[in-house]
Amino acid sequence: MTNLTLDVFWLSVMPIYLHVILIQCMIHVALMLTYTLHYKYTTIVRMTEHRKVTRKKSFQSMTITVAGCAYFVGHSLRMLSITLTMPLVIQVTPLFIVVLSMVMQWFSPGSMNFALCVYLCHASFHSILLIFTTPSYR
């Protein structure tokens, strides 16, 4: 009964479309993080020669990472600007910081994987928090 009461309270406080957007944003952030860590893992394995990774596989990993991150950032921005009618500058700045931090880490593979995870999660959390706490200009 307590769970039902909390669910009813939560749904009455926050409209259902915001739940959908929040879940989609979290999925996008998780996929961006997965793509980045996959690229880092492939690069580290190739550098340490732990198992044989060809240049083709390494290039393919980087291409998937860049394309995936670009798609999910673009899709998140489009979805949020349509649904929440906010200025895109408010959304672009934190997401630009996330992508820039990933790009800077690509050139030093093998260093600070844990720090990268924490930084991306932290920046993504702030992005989502900023998006949901900014009033709409409708």
pLDDT for 60 = 72
pLDDT for 110 = 53
CB 94 within 8 A of CB 126: yes
CA 94 to chain centre: 11
The HSE-up count of residue 131 (CA atoms within 13 Å, CB side) is 27
What does the block give as tokens for 17?
A: 């479309």
Give dist(CA 77, CA 81) in Å, integer: 6
CA distances from 7 to 2, 10, 19 (A): 9, 5, 12
Exposure letters 53-81 (e unless 16+ CB within 10 A, then b) = beeeebeebbeebbebbeebbeebbeebb
pLDDT in tens, 76-124: 667 666 655 556 666 566 666 666 666 665 555 554 455 555 666 666 6
Q: In percent, how much of the chain has pLDDT > 70?
A: 7
Name the residue ranges covered by the structural domains of the chain.
Answer: 15-133
Which pTM value belongs to this model? 0.36
pLDDT in tens, 10-59: 455 555 555 555 566 666 667 666 766 666 666 666 667 766 667 776 67
pLDDT for 67 = 73
pLDDT band at 71 (very low <50, low <70, confident <90, very high): confident
